[in-house]
Amino acid sequence: MGEAAGPVLGEVFSRNFVPGTSVTVFHDDSLWLAEPEGWVEIEFDTPFEYRAGTHLLIEVVHDTAQPGFFTWHWETGEPRGLLGYGPDAEKGYLCTDIPHLLLECSQAGLEACTFGRIKASF
């Protein structure tokens, strides 16, 4: 994970990350996920702090015979996905559909409250 240089991607993987922001948050040599019901939860090995207002870039690398990361996708209308073949690929193929991913975040230092409470505070 890291910060993307902009809202759309270019064909060269390394040029899409803002320098110094790429962090490996999860690694498993033999992870197998087969036809889960609902969301698959993967707990990060390394915490990742996201700066609000920036573009989050998530890179999934796998070394299998299957040429993709198979989930439900949604169409963005812009090149926000990049597909490469092999874990050592330097360039990829731009695509406009990206996988559905759900990221659960902790709001370190922030107090949880309802929408009504937020609205009443103004």
Tell me how far apart the alpha carbons of residues 46 and 29 are, in angstroms, rounded to a whole number: 16
Angle of CA points 18, 20, 23, to nearest 5°: 100
Q: pLDDT per position in the chain (122 positions), as tens?
A: 899 988 888 999 889 999 999 888 887 777 666 666 777 777 788 888 877 788 888 888 776 666 566 677 889 898 888 888 776 778 888 989 888 777 777 666 556 666 667 666 66
Q: Which helix (H) or strand (E) holds 115?
A: helix 115-120
